[in-house]
A and B are shown apart, each in its own frame.
Chain A
């Protein structure tokens, strides 16, 4: 552990992992509550389109991905509110459209395969101080806004109609949360990659929900589970020299199954 920490890249990876775990865990609580898991998958894949557009146009890929994923997230929600279009249908359409745009843009630009692989599967070696600053800034803003709007987001998840009647800006907050979700996903890509990021959007909240019945405990447990999986996964992957994003997800999944078992036992 000590010798691992001597490497700058590992320090950066751990700092990023800790910050992102907290953000992902808190957002994950609402993702599970609102059944947004599949929307998360769709947004993550659309981030690929954003990265590709960014590299083609010479815009920083993270920035392009945030804008593109944010647009797709809100478009999914908007389209799915129309008659005759289910949420899953909307996701299915936008997710593949965004990927298709991404593939075309990649073909037109001169992105190296190693970069591409990093975006798809995560690359903790590539976390710079600049990335840390972005994660700290945007992650902090996300945590602050969830804290400020917590009771509103909870009410809307519980009963959107009554929330609307009592004067909550329901539509605004829906789109606001989807935008937060998109940003969370994009800033997490360097750790787990596009393919696996949705796991960390679902598992911490889902695992915590197995054990606890009240939101305050669920959120705390969700943070603990995300921290454990991310830090543990990073350390194990370095020792064993295996893919770190995948290791994090495997560890998180193990925690989920343990939580599931604990939940079953507690309820009997």
Chain B
């Protein structure tokens, strides 16, 4: 019927994530001011900005870990804490795990499946296989039986990525996913994200300090320094006017391509 067709098309065009005039403060200081942000299905949104610009805070607001002082946040069209969070994979900026925590690598990945299993259930063979195939995707299958804590920082990060992916989420929220990950693995990871986006309509919101990564892999970019200074196509934010508004010294370019900002700036210095 036409109503359900309308509902369906509305589902497709409504953003998965929608922030309207969101304000957040810590200790009477505004960290996020009047944020408007959307992310649609099948879109990779890159968030860039200086240290302390509020990027991690923004992700926590989207996830419902933090309630904003003002404004509305919707995730899948509902309040974040009402959403079955099951469809969201999250990779925090700093993992809190300590080195001696008594779990194997594959146990960590299986944690990403706990909510799918529900309370009171035990692991089954299928869960373990899902974890192993996810580890394979991030090139960590050989380490499945090792203790998680003995891995290197970059290896742990790859395992955390596998955990975020294992439950087959519709939205991935990644806070600096490439921290410590070598460039070969990074390339593979971003290719994987693009493939999941194209095949399954996965949406990704990802914070990065790597301008090259954002310009190459993101469909949309948001530049955040307390406020959103730019939200749009990745090529647009390299315009000097926009860049000057938000740019922090911490923006490093690791991939030198046509958009390499520090090269352009050096070029301008000589002018």
Using a CB–CB cutoff of 8 Å, the interface residues on chain A facing chain B are 33, 148-149, 151-152, 154-155, 157-168, 209, 212-215, 218
Contacts and interface: CB of A to CB of B under 8 A. Distances in A.
Contacts of B119: 148-149, 152
A164 B65 contact: yes
Contacts of B143: none
A213 B102 contact: yes
Given A149-B119, A152-B119, A214-B147, A158 B101 contact: yes
21 contacts: A151-B114, A158-B97, A158-B103, A159-B95, A159-B96, A161-B65, A161-B90, A161-B92, A162-B92, A163-B111, A163-B114, A165-B90, A166-B88, A166-B114, A166-B167, A167-B86, A168-B115, A209-B102, A214-B104, A215-B102, A215-B107
A168 B102 contact: no
A98 B25 CA distance: 37
Contact of A213 (B63, B88, B122, B147): B147
B84 interface: yes
Contacts of A163: 111, 114
A34 to B, nearest CB: 11
Give the residue among A152, A155, A166 with the most B Cβ atoms within 10 A: A166
- How many of chain B's residues touch chain A, expressed as a range? 20 to 34
Contacts of B104: 214
A223 to B, nearest CB: 15
Interface string B93-126: 0011100111110011001101101011011000
Nearest to B100: A209
B155 to A, nearest CB: 16
A213 B96 CA distance: 18
Contacts of A148: 119-120
Given A148-B120, A159-B111, A165-B88, 19 more contacts: A151-B122, A160-B96, A161-B65, A161-B96, A162-B163, A163-B111, A165-B85, A166-B85, A166-B88, A166-B111, A166-B112, A167-B85, A167-B115, A168-B114, A209-B102, A213-B147, A214-B102, A215-B102, A218-B102
